[in-house]
A and B are shown apart, each in its own frame.
With several copies, the nearest count.
Chain A
Amino acid sequence: MALYNDIVMDHFLNPKNVGELENPDGTGVYGSPVCGDMMQIQIKVDGEKITDAKFKTFGCGSAIASSSMATSMIIGKTIEEALEVTNKEIIDNLGGLPPVKVHCSVLADKAIKNAIYDYAQKNGKHYAALEGYDPNADEDDDHGDIEE
């Protein structure tokens, strides 16, 4: 049993959409180096469609793989559709993540939402799914407690 499955390893070893966009329409950052993972996702929006996305990630294998998968998933989707992407779907598309690594998919999910939030703010857009959304809320406190 390897630590990660082949899909995760492939996205980790050959990540898609690495980098930064020239003139991003929205930039989302989530996590912090102190927690061991920090992700930046940028999107290019044309009409309501996400035409491009890039990421930069400080983090472990599954954080990088999740970033790669998440960006791949939203390219071509409308904003509304992208907002419906859940961390569960990211995990499913990756063919599963070890329990202690689930939070990486949450990170990716949040980074996407933050990028869209940024886009919405800058362009005066409103999306139902972002109603009351707090880009800095910490939804990820599942750090796998040590019990003994």
Chain B
Amino acid sequence: MRNVYLDYSATTPVKEEVLKEMIPYFTEKFGNPSSLYDKGLESKDAVTHAREQVAALINAKPAEIYFTAGGTESDNWAVFGACEKLKSKGNHIITTKIEHHAMLHSCAFLEKQGYEVTYLDIDKDGFIDLKQLEDAITDKTILISVMLVNNEIGTIQPIKEVAAIAKKHGILIHTDAVQGLGNLPIDVKDLGVDLMSVSSHKIYGPKGSGALYIRKGVSISNYLHGGAQENRRRAGTENLAGIVGFGKAAEIAKNNLENHIKHCSELRNYLKDRIIAEIPDTYVNGTMEKRHPGNLNITFKYIEGESILLLLNQFGISVSTGSACSSTSLEPSHVLSALGVPVEMIHGTVRFTVGDFTTKEDIDYVVDNLKTIVAKLREISSVNSTKGW
């Protein structure tokens, strides 16, 4: 049976070249980067090199890259570290309704501590309103956090404009760029952000490795306390091979960026065009402009997403019904809710993300099976276009 993975936003396979770079750092070059003997210094050099590679991908200085255990830790560090540092200045955070749970659950936790959080709306295309953002700012606002690319509908927020507003008001600006990294050109200098979260496993690097970009001169509190690693700002023995892998993946992503975007968007558009043309009662969620090149989010009216997922799985096809994290939960996606998708239609929504290893044949295989599956489930369904919901 064919195997078609269309869930690159959930995670990506580690590329062979990346794994090859990592291998020696497990068994042979295993020294602790904090150690002063050659075996330690060799590891330190490897971390330094990876830092340069990651920095280059986002046009940061290497010293502005702090390695973490992934996007979730980076998000937590950014928000808790900023709030701790600035608590004497205020207790108000502005973010959006469509952030990843790493941000939303952190904010919910802070609300319990007495912080106030404004969650910005998105419009029907999936974008925040800069006017609403500016209106939400008070003299207690200490942090603005808006994600660069949404993980469910792939919309790219106007972070440069958001950062300009933040700067005008002297407020720290963080962006969760976990889904953006490697999927659009990112230049932190041009964007003007103070803090940015990224993760390795979304760009063909290993899981459990990520980074927080902290602009030179910006100071937030530490979140993991202990040893003097990462210039004393993030403690814990470095995930050496994970960092080396992230570095290599970043290097490849940089060199491959144009191709990657072209490849993914072409296949994604082809998938979209075929689905919309060949399967009735299907809708794309979020605008097709300013969108993650691999992301397609489709509602199949009158049927339920998990059923579609399971039947596709029978044909070796992997897709998701929302963000990977919420897929074991029964809650309808908060992103699609914010977009204004009716709840019954949220239940019928599938996220497809294509990636570097996707082929046109894969797409054809998926659409062909999807047609049968959707027809079958609609046959079973208690709702349909004549009956209505």
Contacts and interface: CB of A to CB of B under 8 A. Distances in A.
Q: Touch between A and B in complex, CB under 8 Å?
A: yes
- The residue among B38, B305, B343 with the most chain A CB atoms within 10 A of its own CB is B343
A148 B306 contact: no
Contacts of A125: none
A58 B383 contact: yes
A57 B331 CA distance: 19
Interface in A25-48: 29, 32-34, 36-40
Contact of B332 (A36, A63, A146): A36
B105 A148 contact: yes
Interface string B322-341: 00000011111000000000
B382 A39 contact: yes
Contact of B307 (A34, A56, A59, A146): A59
Contacts, number: 78
A1 B310 contact: no
A38 B314 contact: no
B41 A12 contact: no
Nearest to B108: A148
Given A18-B380, A58-B304, A61-B307, A34 B331 contact: no
- The residue among B108, B330, B331 with the most chain A CB atoms within 10 A of its own CB is B330
- The SS class assigned to the A binding surface is mixed
Interface residues of B, number: 36
B383 to A, nearest CB: 5
Given A13-B314, A34-B344, A100 B382 contact: no
Contact of B331 (A12, A33, A58, A146): A146
A2 interface: yes
Interface residues of A, number: 32
B204 to A, nearest CB: 27
Contacts of B45: 1
B232 A147 contact: yes
A18 B307 contact: no
A83 B389 CA distance: 28
A64 interface: yes
Interface of A: 1-4, 12-13, 15, 18, 29, 32-34, 36-40, 55-61, 63-64, 100, 143-144, 146-148
Closest 10 pairs between A and B when the two form their complex, measured CB to CB: A33-B344, A56-B382, A60-B306, A40-B382, A36-B347, A58-B381, A34-B343, A61-B310, A58-B382, A58-B383
Interface of B: 36, 38, 41, 44-45, 48, 105, 108-109, 222, 225, 228, 232, 302-307, 310-311, 314, 328-332, 343-344, 347, 379-383, 389
